Amino acid sequence: MKIEGTGALVAGGASGLGAATARLLHERGAAVVIADMNAEKGEALAAELGDRARFAEADVTAPEPVQAAVEAAAEAEGGLRICVSCAGIGWAQRTAGKQGPHDLEIFHNVIKVNLIGTFNVLRLAAASMIENDPDAGGERGVCVNTASIAAFDGQIGQVAYSASKGGIVGLTLPAARDLAGRGVRVVTIAPGTFDTPLLAALSQEARDELGAQVPFPNRLGDPAEFAALACHAVENPMLNGETIRLDGALRMPPR
């Protein structure tokens, strides 16, 4: 799938991995819709990028605003052909402990945002993509989702987060099979520890310690590296139904 001249939607695109991806897609010639709940950051990024960039305020768990963002991206010449889902939240709590059982409402909310939100974006974007004319290779679109290595190596306190990201890994292959006959690919990236707003509350010492756990390169991941892989997934037609770890060979310890 060529990036230049296409319509792209980046959910959670106002900061972190999503912002880096929006920037790179735009740099490579896509018309990008940045969908996010943070209007201030989203509008600022769209203004920074200029032509071919716009912001759409959207909660990924709500069908109507996501559909509006999809329709905005589909206005691009050739329609919506690229969708990258980066919206997500984190939470740390043990299944049960001194404070009692894990808060069920919080568990539900993490699943709702990370898993249901990702699927909501995927289903609506794919429904738009299948209406596109196929390109020379028969492709109509590519959907890139964001999981985490916590889907495989969940740490103590990550039961909700790991479950939500494991669900994204689990839906990748069946979604790809569902859409294969319509020329739409589905790929998931499972990043390790990246320098994103999720880690912003930590001290520099703590961030350095996290980076030191990565075998090589011995540092936190750069969001631009995630963006590069997302764009490669778009451009490589044989990447389909797969989850790719992007973690510098990191395997998370129990804590």
Sheet arrangement for strand 53-57: 53-57, 31-36, 7-11, 80-85, 141-146, 184-191, 242-246
Which has the higher per-residue pLDDT, 111 or 93?
Answer: 111
User: Helix-strand-coil percent breakdown of the chain, rounded to 5?
Assistant: 45, 20, 35
Q: Please report which residue ranges of 183-244 form alpha helices under DSSP H.
A: 204-212, 223-235
* Spatial separation of the C-alpha atoms in residues 155 and 143, rounded to whole Å: 28
Tell me the pTM: 0.95
Domain ranges of the chain: 7-246
Give the mean pLDDT of the chain.
95
pLDDT of residue 196: 86
Closest CA to 171 of 122, 112, 105, 209: 122
Distances (CA, A) of 44 to 15, 59, 196, 230: 10, 18, 18, 22
Report, as an integer, the average pLDDT of 82-92. Answer: 94
Q: What angle do CA 102, 104, 108 make, to 5 degrees?
A: 125
Taking 80 as the threshold, does the pLDDT of residue 61 lie above it?
yes
pLDDT of residue 203: 78
Comparing 50-64, 96-110, 137-151, 193-207, the range with the smallest average pLDDT is: 193-207
pLDDT of residue 29: 97
- Band the pLDDT of 144: cuts 50, 70, 90: very high
Could you report the per-residue pLDDT of 122-133, keeping only the tens digit for each? Answer: 999 999 999 999
Residues taking part in catalysis: 161
- Band the pLDDT of 81: cuts 50, 70, 90: very high
Domain 7-246 has CATH 3.40.50.720: yes
pLDDT of residue 220: 94
- Band the pLDDT of 252: cuts 50, 70, 90: confident
pLDDT of residue 255: 83
Could you report the per-residue pLDDT of 170-218, keeping only the tens digit for each? Answer: 999 999 999 999 999 999 999 999 988 777 767 788 888 889 999 999 9
Report, as an integer, the average pLDDT of 213-230. Answer: 95
